[in-house]
Amino acid sequence: MGYTDINTNVYATGIIATLKGKKEGPCILFRSDMDAVIMDDTGRTKHTCGHDAHMTILLSLAELIIRNKDKIKGTVKLLFQPDEEGEGGADKMISNGALDNPKVDKAFAIHVWSELKEDTIGIKEGAVMASTDPFEIIVYGKGGHAAIPEKCVDTIYIANIIGKMIKEMANIGTNLDDKVVLGITAISGGKTNNVIPDKVYLKGIFRTFNNEIRARIKEELCCKVKKIAEEMGGTAEIKFIANYPVTVNSEEEAETIQEIASNIVQNIDKNYKTMCSEDFSYFLQKVPGAMILVGCQKDEYYPQHNENFTVGITSILIGTQIFYDIVKKYLM
């Protein structure tokens, strides 16, 4: 398109294209995630979360900017980020200088969203997407013949007690701000009917909108898992993986997007928040900005991560217009 400052040495397949205007002004970052969703244990992947639409929106913005580059007062950074769906690519790109040279003043991202109808934008200040702390637990016991369980330390039973305890921990809040999603999502151990296994593996998820609750629950969970296993004669290990903070939109930027959105769509939801998570939260911990949710729900509804999830052209056009209006607001 004519961009000459393109950095492909940030993190993995990450790309940052930078355009500096002829006049001084702020540096605004626009981010698109790029990865697909792993659909099953075979490694099959598919774009069922809209990241392909996000790339289309950012490339469309890139073309609009390059056509109007003489009007730019400041700097635009267009950031294409891998690994949002698993390894926390945002944090890694930041660690490798994505917010530096020049220093980013504000950061914005769009997520097309199946829970909102087309022609609707969800944009609120404060917590808009939950933290996520997926975890893995290994329960160790003493395997043996199922006919003589008194000679064994039953890992299956220990895992069941841990799972029940974790489900009970989730019922701590009655309002949405204190809501916790906490539970076991996968369990494996043993291969046959007459053998108690030495190990059982569990996987689970923990999400919340409240950073104080987040810290407390993680500490309590580690203590309780280990205590249960030890009281029943076994041991347990727990580790958290790919921790994403709460996604928190800054007040001024959220209000600006609300104003911009009012000229683009009929419906603006200023209170919408979701227990789903986003590693764009790492960017918003460092600089002011906003995650903008662009509705893509049609009459026939399929949620994100469903085989049949799709994004129509309307949502892509709305997203592109929002991004370009942000450029006009801050850089033209």
Backbone phi, psi, residue 95, to 5°: -60, -25
Please indicate, yes or no, whether residues 119 and 250 belong to a single structural domain of this protein.
yes
Instruction: Report the mean per-residue pLDDT for the chain.
Output: 94
Are 120 and 252 contained in the same domain?
yes
* Residue-wise DSSP of 33-65: E---EE-STT--EE--SSHHHHHHHHHHHHHHH
162 CB-contact burial (10 Å; exposed 0-12 / middle 13-18 / buried 19+): buried
Domain boundary among 221, 240, 259: 240
Per-residue pLDDT, 239 = 95
From first to last of its 332 residues, what are the pLDDT tens digits of the chain?
Answer: 999 999 999 999 999 999 999 999 999 999 999 999 888 888 889 999 999 999 999 999 999 999 999 999 999 999 999 999 878 899 999 999 999 999 999 999 999 999 999 999 999 999 999 999 999 999 999 999 999 999 999 999 999 999 999 998 887 655 666 778 999 999 999 999 999 999 999 999 999 998 888 889 999 999 999 999 999 999 999 999 878 999 999 999 999 999 999 999 999 999 999 999 999 999 999 999 999 999 999 999 999 999 999 999 999 999 999 999 999 999 99
- pLDDT, position 173: 55
Residue-wise pLDDT tens digits, 170-218 = 876 556 667 789 999 999 999 999 999 999 999 999 999 988 888 899 9
Show the domain range for 306: 5-128+246-331
The residue with tokens 């987040």 is: 214
> Domain with 233 in it: what CATH number?
3.30.70.360
Is the distance from CB of 295 to CB of 113 less than 8 angstroms?
A: yes
Q: Are 17 and 98 within one domain?
A: yes
Statement to judge: residues 285 and 186 lie in one domain: no
Of 92, 83, 123, nearest to 289 by C-alpha is 123
Which pLDDT score, from 0 to 100, does residue 170 have? 82
Q: Find the helix or strand (DSSP H, E) in which 211 lies.
A: helix 211-231
Does residue 96 share a domain with residue 222? no
Look at residue 176 in the predicted model and tell me its pLDDT. Answer: 61
* Count of the separate structural domains present in the chain: 2
Token code pair at residue 54: 């996000």
- Under 8 Å between Cβ of 108 and 326: yes
pLDDT for res 172: 61
- Percent residues over pLDDT 70 in the chain: 98
Residues in the chain: 332
Q: Would you state the pLDDT for residue 263?
A: 96
**Last residue of some domain: 189, 217, 240?**
240
**Domain shared by 322 and 270, yes or no:** yes
Same domain, 229 and 152: yes
Q: Are residues 280 and 231 in the same domain?
A: no
Model-level pTM?
A: 0.89
Residues 6+ apart with CB under 8 A from 261: 121, 123, 268, 292, 322
